[in-house]
Amino acid sequence: MSTPGMTLFHSPTSPFVRKIMVLLHETGQLGRVAVETVQPAPTSPSEALNAVNPVGKVPALRLADGQVLYDSRVIFDYLDSQHVGEPLIPREGSARWRRLTLAALADAILEAAVLIRYETALRPADRQWPAWRDAQQGKIERALAELEEQALAELSCHFDVAAIGVACALGYLDLRLPALDWRARCPRLAAWYAETRRRPSLQATEPPAL
């Protein structure tokens, strides 16, 4: 068995890392990438991660020549260019921009959810800012409504960068913000996710229960 030529800096609960792991499963590239687990937090950074990514965030991908790629969007695009199957990001045309836009919407859900998580789990209670937290939740709710109303047919057609991003975002909401109860407001999206989460790549990358 050949030695993996790339190293992925990984945290098991990071939804941004999960997107990359799903891609590796879907494109048959798991054997090409070694995983180095780190546990960075805003107040306790990882020295190993800081040494390769100056902002100290996962994922980061060290290539065989020592070059390091970050963030998840760049890594996803790079790895999608390294396999011979159907691309997960359309190469050209309007489909490319639409799928990337849906993927960006999923990332926006994740970014807001991570900020809520930091605010409620890491910041002392007497320093939390409810109005700011509610504004982040508003972003999530508007993005979910957009997916529910405008994107279900597209998400159902292809399991690609957009569908992977949305599936990982919904999984993270279940993990970190279960009280949001997003399924009550988005029944069609919930039905799509119930079916999609059965894919082996999503089953294999399910974050550990808290």
Instruction: Supply the DSSP string of 103-163, one letter for each residue.
Output: HHHHHHHHHHHHHHHHHHHTS-GGG--HHHHHHHHHHHHHHHHHHHHHTHHHHHH--SHHH
| Ramachandran bin of 28, using left for φ above 0, alpha for ψ from -120 to 50, beta for the remaining angles | left
- Containing 192, the helix (H) or strand (E) segment is helix 187-196
CATH architecture of 6-80: 3-Layer(aba) Sandwich (3.40)
The Cα 112–Cα 137 span in angstroms is 7
Residue 52 contacts residue 46 (beta carbons within 8 Å) = no
pLDDT at 42: 80
Q: Which residues of the chain are under the pLDDT cut of 50?
A: none
Residue 168 contacts residue 19 (beta carbons within 8 Å) = yes
The Cα 114–Cα 63 span in angstroms is 27
Q: Give the domain ranges of the chain.
A: 6-80, 93-199
Backbone angles phi, psi at 11, to 5 degrees: -130, 130
Q: Token digits for 4? A: 């993996």
pLDDT at 208: 87
Q: What is the CATH T-level fold of the domain 93-199, as seen in this structure?
A: Glutathione S-transferase Yfyf (Class Pi); Chain A, domain 2 (1.20.1050)
Detail the DSSP E strand segments found in 2-82: 6-10, 33-37, 60-62, 68-69
Q: Which residue has the tokens 């937290």?
A: 133
Start-to-end CA span in the chain (Å)? 35
Backbone angles phi, psi at 195, to 5 degrees: -80, -45
| pTM greater than 0.75 (yes/no) | yes
pLDDT at 210: 65
Helices 187-196 and 161-176 cross at an angle (nearest 10°) of 100
Q: Which residue has the tokens 């546990």?
A: 39
pLDDT at 3: 78
- Render pLDDT for 143-192 as a digit per residue (tens, 0 to 9): 999 999 999 999 999 999 999 999 999 999 999 999 999 999 999 999 99
The Cα 130–Cα 173 span in angstroms is 19
